[in-house]
Amino acid sequence: DTGVSQNPRHKITKRGQNVTFRCDPISEHNRLYWYRQTLGQGPEFLTYFQNEAQLEKSRLLSDRFSAERPKGSFSTLEIQRTEQGDSAMYLCASSYPQPGPSYEQYFGPGTRLTVT
């Protein structure tokens, strides 16, 4: 098991372009999370999947953002009509239900987006 992987690791795009990021969770992890982290801040929750179902979305996730997990394995996060304020690190994490109320999350290396 190689852990959570994300592609690309870096993306530079011009304002107004669309971008898509991919996250491959740890095998058999049925929960997948997307977070966004801006410079000097802690990550902020964007959305969460259990298997292929998107169960929760943050208000941060405007209508320009869409996330999918079609087969309950990898997930994609698309940003349409990018704005400079979208520049951030986009982090993916996965977890597997364990006994008890707590679920350890394993993070990927992140995709750093720069919108020029």
Q: Which residues bind another protein (CB under 8 A)?
A: 31, 33, 35, 37, 40-45, 48, 50, 55-56, 89, 91, 93, 95, 101-110, 112
Q: In what helix (H) or strand (E) does residue 48 lie, and over which residues does it extend?
A: strand 44-50
Closest distance of CB 14 from another protein, Å: 22
Comparing CB distances to another protein, the nearer of 62 and 81 is 62
At 68, the amino acid letter reads E
68 pairs with which residues across the strands?
76
User: Under DSSP, is residue 86 helix (H, G, I), strand (E, B) or coil?
Assistant: helix
Closest distance of CB 40 from another protein, Å: 7
Residue in the structure block whose two tokens are 């298997």: 51
